[in-house]
Structure 1
């Protein structure tokens, strides 16, 4: 393995500190608040019928949506393109992890960059 040519002060820390974890959680919380503010009234109602939150892993922002019933899952799946449009405002590498009701399948993911700009609708609720 090659050693980096940077001085030790310029390298990332070897371990994550408590402060890093707190800042990480605050970032996820603020991303959720800002995302919700960008949504229109219909999207807000759809999200209020599910449990949703942001998480980051390896620098990728992920919107996790957990649907508890088939009706809310169906509505959210029909609105995925609108959600992706909003998510793209935050990161070009963001993704959605959609979790259907437990008895109806397994979670699936779609990344913002998997949809072309032509596939993302202009109008949202």
Structure 2
């Protein structure tokens, strides 16, 4: 495959400016708000009990921090529904769930993998 040759004005900048960082943060905040509003009530309640954010790097990533084992279990048991809501924003999006400190490693899921996991909900 031949790489695309773009004129200099169409290439990404060599460095990221403060304006770029500010715009990315505004995008993350807006996307987080829209994602939350798109979720069903039970998922919204679950997210309100955890610390979470959406980051924009190469792909959107929903990052959820669970304060205790119970919340971690509840988040993991609803991953399919969460992934379904996030997939509406980007089919390449990812989810990373951080368990409480000292209880294990983060769990990562691409939203296109959601059909491979079991969920308590039967409608997703």
When normalised by structure 2's length, the TM-score is: 0.88
Structure 2 alignment gaps of length 5 or more: none
Once the 2 structures are TM-superposed, how far is the Cα of residue 122 of structure 1 from its aligned partner? 6.8
Tell me how far 1:13 sits from its aligned partner: 0.9
RMSD: 2.3
Cα gap change, 1:10 to 1:105, in 2 (>3 Å): same
The alpha-carbon deviation at position 4 of structure 1 amounts to 6.1
Alignment match, 1:81: 80
The alpha carbon displacement at 1:10 in A equals 1.6
Q: CA deviation at 1:103?
A: 2.0
Q: CA deviation at 1:116?
A: 3.5
Asked if 1 retains the 8 angstrom alpha-carbon contact of 2:29 and 2:54, the reply is yes
Superposition deviation, residue 89 in structure 1: 0.3
> In 2 relative to 1, CA 25–122 (structure 1 residues): closer, same or farther, beyond 3 Å?
farther
- Identify the residue that residue 68 of structure 1 maps to in structure 2: 67
Quick one: structure 1 residues 122 and 92, their matched pair in 2 at CA, closer, same or farther if it must change by over 3 Å?
farther
2:10 is matched with which residue?
10
Indicate if the aligned counterparts of 2:39 and 2:85 stay in contact, CA closer than 8 A: yes
Aligned residues: 122
C-alpha deviation, 1:55, in angstroms: 0.7
SS at match of 1:33: helix
Cα offset, 1:113, TM superposition: 1.4
